[in-house]
Structure 1
Amino acid sequence: MKQLILAIAIAAIGGQAAAADAKNIIFFLGDGMGPTVITAARIHGYKEEGLLKFERLERVARLKTYSHDAQTTDSAPSMGSYMTGVKINNEVISMWDSKPSAPKKDANGNWGIDTCAAGNGKAVPTILELAKAHGKSVGAVTTTEATHATPASTYAHHCHRNSGFAIAVQAVPGGAGYNPALGDGLDVLMGGGAAHFTPFDKAANPKGRPDGRDLLGEMAAHGYAVARSRSEMLAAKPGRKFVGLYGDGHLEYELDRTATPPRGEGAKQPSLSEMTSKAIELLALNPKGFFLMVEGGKIDHGLHGSNVKRAVVDLLAFDDAIQTAIDRMQERDPGLRNTLIVITADHDHTLAFNGTAKRGSPVLDIVRGADGSPARDADGHTYTTLVFANGPNRKLERADISSEEALADDYQQETSIRRSGETHGGGDVKLYAVGAGSAVFKGTMENTRVFDLMKAAYGF
């Protein structure tokens, strides 16, 4: 009954929304969140008959993801397509006609020397920059480094996604390399990657900036509140610009952040739901509205490692953050009459749903038949429901897999082609939408079309 009531309420929201322009847009990006990992997360969290929270939204579309130069995109051009409305080359951050030029290692052994030559491509305005130019507040939140491909594509322009030091300076008002299209600056920036914003120190910050700049200090001097932990984020008061970087690199997987005790740096890191809620609190004071991008970036990292368990746990946390945003905006904007929420992915992965497992089986387990006995391959060995087309776990000769192995936190699903890391897949991805202007998100579309529809929802 509760699920039915929720579905009816959401359907009513979607039905009311199409006639209104959006004052606010929240764009959710599940990095690597292809259709198969959505199914796996749904079963892992809610069993076969359940639904993820965002799957209850009535506006659904299918998106083509190829980049300007490749059938299978990487995160940079795909996110750039959503943000700018143009197809971009792989590895490039929100630049048209730019050829990727990877950075070189600096004297400290980090990829810190920028090789992007002047004239290599043209910066294309992003939806975040357009929102800022129209007086709205803007922000980006991620579980990856704040300079990673997805968040960078909202506020920066560069010929290579791995130039983290050169990307970071574009977010710092008044400093050399600042992106002037941001006006007085991002209003909220949250994630990891503090090393790209702080000076190199051999002992304390070995991944830090080779130029010695303290970008967090520069941002503080321009009125930003700076947080380095969950407690500092929660204590931040509305009324100031805010940057929160909760780790030197990417943030922890949700499985590790919530472990008892937390593994890695997880104890000081907020959840994606908490970051989303705080960002809305800080941005929603602007009477002209806001644009917020929220990325669940660790879904992708788990899949690249052929570790589905961490990927689906992060996807469930991403789903929770979406519900948090809907709830927080409903408090401010009942019926989401002035708020558009869009949820999608940048690309697929090579994950495959395999065999004919008995209904009710754990989706991470080995395949079991109707009588509960393990299914076996042509050589007599057990195998898991989920496998990858490529990745690191390819043995020269297969052996039995036990349920204990398959359900372990660190288990890497088997792959057909051996690679050091699993690759993206070139398949289509799904899009879900709710709120003001959401009725136009339907059918099979180019990923660039999402930019056009968000821009139209704003009335720009």
Structure 2
Amino acid sequence: MNRRSLLKGGLLTGMGLPFLGIKDVAAFPMAGRKKAKNIIMMVSDGMSTGTLNIADIYSNRMFGRSSKWLGLYRDNKAVRSLMDTASASSLVTDSAAASSSWGGGIRVRNGSLNVGMNGDKPQPILQKFKEKGKKVGCVTSVPITHATPAGFCINIDNRGGQDIIAELYLGLKFDVMMGGGHKYFGAKRPGGNLIPKYLTQGYAVAESRAEMLALDKSKPVLGLFADDGMPYEVDRLSTPALIKSTPTLAEMTMKAIELMKDNKDGFALQVEGGKVDWAAHSNDISGLVFDQLAFDEAVGKVIDFAEKDGETLVIITTDHGNSNPGLFNANDGNKKFDSLQNFKHSNTWLLGQINQSFSEQKIIALIKENQGFEMKSEDVKSLLGHFKDIVPGQLYNESNLPFYEYGKILSKYTDVQWAGMNHSGDYVELTMFGPGSENLKPFVKNYELHNFMLKAAEMPEVFLVKA
């Protein structure tokens, strides 16, 4: 990295933070510490602490084993911290500002991707790693152009320009980019189909699980496995066609590692369980738990790789809480919670099947078949009434479905309750495993992870010296 790009990346006047200055640090004392040749940052987007807890409880009761993430704590195999998630404009961040804090090393306003309050544009961390010879990539269960992967990759003032982000990715020629979001690349893209351009630039493009599994290391990879977000895991598991066509987050993650791990200078990979956030916004308990466990499966695979490799720093966290679900005490609480084991479909899928002309009995039968419990007549009447109350334009609710009301109704049958339908300002779990993890402090601020990763990889840092 040249001096100019370092200074560009370190302009701090837009951060809303006190500091004295910036300096290069070419080297750090390395005695007793092994370099992280590879860095894998795993983000369960919008994961409140309650989500982590509920998924672990479900795993113990359903499968007789802890989640992989909490298993790291129980086995004393990882270092644990809390992280402050604020943005430059709010105590409650969005995913764009949160990922930018990691990717660019500064706090930006909500909605922005690596563009500071005064217009400064720090070089995103995957660009830095790419310049140093590492292979780099992102995988996600939402569009690959969504805020969390984009925050590691590009600078743009509006996270909503996903068709523009798709074109910015083309110029970067990163090694692996996989997830949903076909509509931002293909024939439906407002600015024209980009896929022929990716092919011309030497990319391999995969559009199914089979095509992904067949990929080799000869070309950079663009994987697009859904038009928008990928299906909720609970829906995928209940739909044979989706099982065949759609890779899991763990499969995408391990394929990305396979494609990059033999590079002599190592690799850097961001992994996002993005549908956890979407489920929390929808108060969708089965969507939430199954996608958290799909993320957890990827955690387990990555930790297995890192243990054998010995040169990989694994960072596991979330960008912010969302809706703060919790399991609350009530009569027959264990039995109610265990009813989640009968869910075959998410609330999004189920509500999308309901025609408001359906009889009560037809709706009761539909819910019984797909979510395993018998809804009371008064709850069906309430649900049908709220289809008419939906205000268009709600976040992640293009179909205008009564998520809030249905989440409230389900809480009576599962004992899982919600604090809201949006992001929270909670401090969040931050877990590390591998070389460099020994330097994690008990409490950090999100933007500090940028330098943490650079230091672990023995790369120059941008130092933020607070007054």
- Alignment TM-score > 0.5, same fold: yes
Residue 248 of structure 1 pairs with residue 227 of structure 2: yes
1:107-146 to structure 2, matched below 5 A, reads 121-146=119-144
SS at match of 1:170: helix
How has the CA–CA distance of structure 1 residues 85 and 363 changed in structure 2, closer, same or farther, with 3 Å as cutoff?
Answer: farther
**1:394·1:414 contact (CA, 8 Å) conserved in 2?**
no
- How many angstroms does 1:78 deviate by? 0.5
Residue identity in the other structure for 1:198: G
1:40-439 to structure 2, matched below 5 A, reads 40-47=54-61, 51-55=66-70, 56=72, 57-97=77-117, 121-173=119-171, 182=172, 185-199=173-187, 208-212=188-192, 214-262=193-241, 267-331=244-308, 333=309, 336=310, 338-353=311-326, 355-357=328-330, 360-361=334-335, 363=337, 403=413, 406=414, 422-439=421-438
How has the CA–CA distance of structure 1 residues 61 and 223 changed in structure 2, closer, same or farther, with 3 Å as cutoff?
Answer: same
**2:90·2:110 contact (CA, 8 Å) conserved in 1?**
yes
**1:18·1:437 contact (CA, 8 Å) conserved in 2?**
no
Aligned residues: 362
**1:228·1:244 contact (CA, 8 Å) conserved in 2?**
yes
How has the CA–CA distance of structure 1 residues 126 and 327 changed in structure 2, closer, same or farther, with 3 Å as cutoff?
Answer: same
How has the CA–CA distance of structure 1 residues 258 and 399 changed in structure 2, closer, same or farther, with 3 Å as cutoff?
Answer: closer
How has the CA–CA distance of structure 1 residues 435 and 416 changed in structure 2, closer, same or farther, with 3 Å as cutoff?
Answer: closer
- How many angstroms does 1:67 deviate by? 0.5
**2:323·2:419 contact (CA, 8 Å) conserved in 1?**
no
Give the aligned CA root-mean-square deviation in angstroms. Answer: 2.7
How has the CA–CA distance of structure 1 residues 356 and 137 changed in structure 2, closer, same or farther, with 3 Å as cutoff?
Answer: same
Residue identity in the other structure for 1:351: N
Residue identity in the other structure for 2:259: L
- How many angstroms does 1:247 deviate by? 1.2
Tell me, which stretches of 5 or more residues in structure 2 are unaligned?
A: 1-30, 341-393, 396-401, 460-467
User: Could you tell me the TM-score, scaled by structure 2's length?
Assistant: 0.72
**2:140·2:178 contact (CA, 8 Å) conserved in 1?**
yes
Work out the CA distance in 2 between the residues paired with 1:423 and 1:443. Answer: 27
How has the CA–CA distance of structure 1 residues 288 and 354 changed in structure 2, closer, same or farther, with 3 Å as cutoff?
Answer: closer
- How many angstroms does 1:285 deviate by? 1.9
Residue deviations 1:395-431 (CA, integer Å, cap 9, x gap): 69x989764xx49xxxxx66677xxxx1111111101
- How many angstroms does 1:361 deviate by? 4.7
**1:143·1:297 contact (CA, 8 Å) conserved in 2?**
yes
**2:101·2:447 contact (CA, 8 Å) conserved in 1?**
yes
Residue identity in the other structure for 2:158: H
Work out the CA distance in 1 between the residues paired with 2:452 and 2:195. Answer: 35
Work out the CA distance in 2 between the residues paired with 1:433 and 1:416. Answer: 29
Residue 30 of structure 1 pairs with residue 76 of structure 2: no
User: Could you tell me the TM-score, scaled by structure 1's length?
Assistant: 0.73
Residue deviations 1:16-68 (CA, integer Å, cap 9, x gap): x9711111000001001121110011001114995321221420010001110
Residue deviations 1:231-251 (CA, integer Å, cap 9, x gap): 000011122211110111110
Residue identity in the other structure for 1:165: D
Residue identity in the other structure for 1:224: Y
Residue identity in the other structure for 2:234: L
Greater helix share, structure number: 2
Work out the CA distance in 2 between the residues paired with 1:163 and 1:355. Answer: 40
Instruction: Give the corresponding residue for 1:10.
Output: none
Residue deviations 1:183-211 (CA, integer Å, cap 9, x gap): xx200000010111123xxxxxxxx2222
Instruction: Give the corresponding residue for 2:370.
Output: none
Residue 19 of structure 1 pairs with residue 24 of structure 2: no
- How many angstroms does 1:266 deviate by? 5.5
How has the CA–CA distance of structure 1 residues 75 and 47 changed in structure 2, closer, same or farther, with 3 Å as cutoff?
Answer: same
Residue identity in the other structure for 2:184: H
How has the CA–CA distance of structure 1 residues 50 and 287 changed in structure 2, closer, same or farther, with 3 Å as cutoff?
Answer: same
- How many angstroms does 1:323 deviate by? 1.2
- How many angstroms does 1:259 deviate by? 0.8
Residue identity in the other structure for 1:458: A
SS at match of 2:316: strand
Q: What percentage of aligned pairs have identical amino acids? A: 34
Work out the CA distance in 2 between the residues paired with 1:219 and 1:70. Answer: 37
Residue identity in the other structure for 1:237: D
Residue deviations 1:328-362 (CA, integer Å, cap 9, x gap): 3444x2xx2x2100000000022242533578555
Work out the CA distance in 1 between the residues paired with 2:102 and 2:430. Answer: 12
Residue deviations 1:132-154 (CA, integer Å, cap 9, x gap): 11011000000000100001111
